[in-house]
Amino acid sequence: MTQLARTDQETLPQASGIEVSRPGVGLLAAVAAAHLWAVSGVFGKIVMTGSLSPARLVFYRSVLSALLLLGVLLWRDRTLLRLNCRDLPFFLAMGMLGLALTQFTYYAAIQSLSVGMAILLQYLAPLWMLLFERFWLKIPLTRARLAALTLALVGCAMVSVETGATRHWGNVGVLLGLTAGVCFAFYTLMTRHALKSHRDLTVLFYSFFFSALFWSASPGSWQPLSQIETYKVWMILYVVVFGTIFPYLLFMHAMKHLSASHTGIISTLEPVVAAVIAWILLHENLTRLQLGGGLCVLLAIVILQKSSSKAELQTAGGPPQRLHEE
């Protein structure tokens, strides 16, 4: 991946890389992020009933998140907005090829496949992360990680297959779903790299800023909020704050203490929690197959946590790194 240029914030502990691995903290952050995303998904489903399309919801999500983060950065520390020109292509790729395309390909896959199948294909992302860590970063592929990944994917499949109506498996839909998983893995790995030299808020702001630029150029994505029902506007704001900004910050915090694939496997908890919430709030059926899938995902997380010794986590995260001066 592209080597990021040094910034003024690199002297700060939070921006100088992953200095201390605390797997317990990382686990809690990743689990909390999955829960917030799950609640947001249920709210998003309610918001998209009627004339509001998925593209418009993602547009509002990106633009409003970028604006709120900009306000926080201007109020807290304007120096966090500094971005070296050499870093611009990296952040542009992360925001557009990573974040924006993940959402685009996922929602496009839904048009050809069931929602459950689209979720399943997107959550193949931990597999791509694990392969990248093995063949590119030379991180050992332990039996525990393979077992956890297998359980997580099987559990995710058991939950997701039950979440949507069965549709024909079109080649285009499958390709889009697989692309969504690759893009999600791409964004996660690039984010983890960016956190070695930039603060969380900086990385998240530019991710959504470039994602908003991408979606603003998409035809039919924009619609005045005044034309949307009031209760949906409040739900959109909830999705932006508690379904986007907070969970992404928690996800980034988790990546400071866990490997990318480890964090990705824990994130498969999201469809499980979403199924439970939909069962409680939307009165959707929760089958035995889904319950079994949820237990598989939970077991995968337990295996990861039990097997993650301090030495293994230091190998996965790498020693504290400082970027080379150019």
CA distance 206 to 98: 12
Quote the pLDDT of residue 8. 40
15 burial level (CB within 10 Å; 0-12, 13-18, 19+): buried
Number of folded domains that form the chain: 1
Note whether residue 17 is domain-resident. no
Note whether residue 4 is domain-resident. no
Q: Hey, what are 30's tokens?
A: 């990743």
CA distance 204 to 245: 8
What SS3 string covers 127-172? HHHHHHHHHCCCCCCCHHHHHHHHHHHHHHHHHHCCCCCCCCCCHH
Note whether residue 301 is domain-resident. yes
Task: State the residue range of the domain holding 102.
Answer: 34-313
Region 216-238: mean pLDDT is: 77
CA distance 163 to 69: 33
pTM score: 0.78
Q: How confident is the model at residue 73 (pLDDT cuts 50, 70, 90)?
A: very high
Note whether residue 26 is domain-resident. no
Region 179-192: mean pLDDT is: 91
Note whether residue 241 is domain-resident. yes
Q: Above 90 in pLDDT, residue 48?
A: no
What is residue 11's DSSP assignment? G
Answer whether 282's CB lies under 8 Å from 47's CB: no
Region 267-273: mean pLDDT is: 84
Give the contacts of 314 (CB within 8 A, at least 6 positions apart): 21
Q: How confident is the model at residue 146 (pLDDT cuts 50, 70, 90)?
A: confident
> Which of 35-44, 107-116, 312-321 bottoms out in mean pLDDT, i.e. has the lowest?
312-321
Alpha helices in the chain, H assignment, sequence order: 23-47, 54-76, 88-93, 101-112, 115-122, 125-135, 143-160, 171-194, 200-216, 230-240, 246-255, 260-267, 269-281, 288-307, 310-317
| Mean pLDDT, the chain, whole residue set | 79
Q: Above 80 in pLDDT, residue 53?
A: no
Nearest-10 crossing angle of helices 23-47, 269-281: 40
Note whether residue 105 is domain-resident. yes
Note whether residue 319 is domain-resident. no
Note whether residue 1 is domain-resident. no
